[in-house]
Structure 1
Amino acid sequence: MRTIRTILGLLFLFCSIHLVTAQEMTAKKYENPNWVQMVYIKFKPMKKDAAMGIIQEYFAKADKNAGIEEPTVYHFATGDHDMLVVWEMEEGIETLNYEMTPNDAKWMNEMAKLAGGPDKAMAKMDEFFTYVDLWESSIARKE
C-alpha cells in the first residue's frame, strides 16, 4: 500500500510540474524560408549516358540561355537511385500556385530555340523520359 501511495505521489508531482511549466502555444512562421524541390531519378539500364547527353545538350543550355540558375546535381555511387537534382524554389512555396512559373516559360522558350521548335522541344523531353525508370519528387525547407 505504501508503494502505491509513493507512486501516486510521484505521479501527482510530475503532472503538477508539467502543468506549471507548460506555456501557451502560439502560431510561429518561418523567417525567410528557403524551399527546394528535390527529384530522385533512376534511369533504365544502360540509358543514363543517353539521358545525360540530353541534359547537357538541351536542359543545361536552356538554363544558361534563359538566365536560370542550374539545379544542384548529385550522382549516387550507392543506393536505389542514380541521381538527385535539387532546384531552388525562387518564390518559395508560392511556386506551387503556378501551373507554369515565369522561369518555366523562359526555359521552355529556350528549349524550343535549341530543339528547332516547340514540338521538337517536347519530343526531346519525351525522349529523355523514356530513359527514366523512376522519378520521385519531394519538397523540403533548407535550414
Structure 2
Amino acid sequence: MKLMKTAILATVAFGLSVSAHAQVEVKEDPGRTSYRILYLKLEDGKWDRFEEIVKTYNEITVDAGQTPATIMHMNSGDWPIMVMIPMAGGMAEMDYDTSPSDAKWRNAGIKKLGSKDALQALDKEMGEIIANSTSELGHTHAPK
C-alpha cells in the first residue's frame, strides 16, 4: 500500500512538474474543412421540387458569401442522396443555437425571399419532401 501511494504521488508530482514547464501552442490546421453531412431519401415524385429548393438554397448561400452545398447522387448504400454542407466556422458552429454563419445565411434568405415567413415556409416544404434522413459531422485535410 505504501509503495502504491509513493508511486501515485511520484506520478502526480512528475506530471505537475512537466506541465508547469511545457508550453503547448495552439496550432491551426488551415487545410481543414468541416462539413455537416446529410443523407436523404425523398418522398416519391419529389425530386424535381427538391432540386428547385436546393437551387434557391444555393443562391441564398452565394448571397451570404458562403460556399454552396455539394449534392451527391449515391450509387450504393442505403441513402440515394448525400448533401455536404460546409461549416465555415468549423466544428465550433455546433456550440451555437444559431451560429454566425447560420444567421448570415438566414438573413440572406429573408432578403432573397422577402420575409422570415417565406423562408420558414420553404424550410417546412423541404422538410415535408424528405421521407427519411440522418446526419453526421466530418472534416477533410488538405494534402501536405
Question: Same fold, TM exceeding 0.5?
Answer: yes
1:81 matched to 2:113: no
Residue 30 of structure 1 and its aligned partner are, at CA, apart by: 8.7
Q: CA RMSD in A?
A: 2.1
Structure 1: unaligned runs, 5 residues or longer: 1-28
Q: Which residue of 2 aligns with 1:112?
A: 110
Q: Which residue of 1 aligns with 2:35?
A: 36
1:98 matched to 2:96: yes
SS at match of 1:73: strand
Q: How many residues align?
A: 115
Q: Say which one has the larger Rg.
A: 1
Identity percentage over the alignment? 25
**Greater shift in the superposed pair: 120-129 or 71-80:** 71-80
Q: Which residue of 2 aligns with 1:139?
A: 137
SS at match of 2:50: helix
1:122 matched to 2:120: yes
TM-score by length of 2: 0.70
SS at match of 1:68: coil
Tell me the alpha carbon deviations over residues 68-89 of structure 1, each in whole angstroms, 9 at most, x when there is no partner: 1112221123433221111232
Output the amino acid matched with 1:101: S
Structure 2: unaligned runs, 5 residues or longer: 1-25
Change in 2 beyond 3 A, CA 1:34/1:60: closer
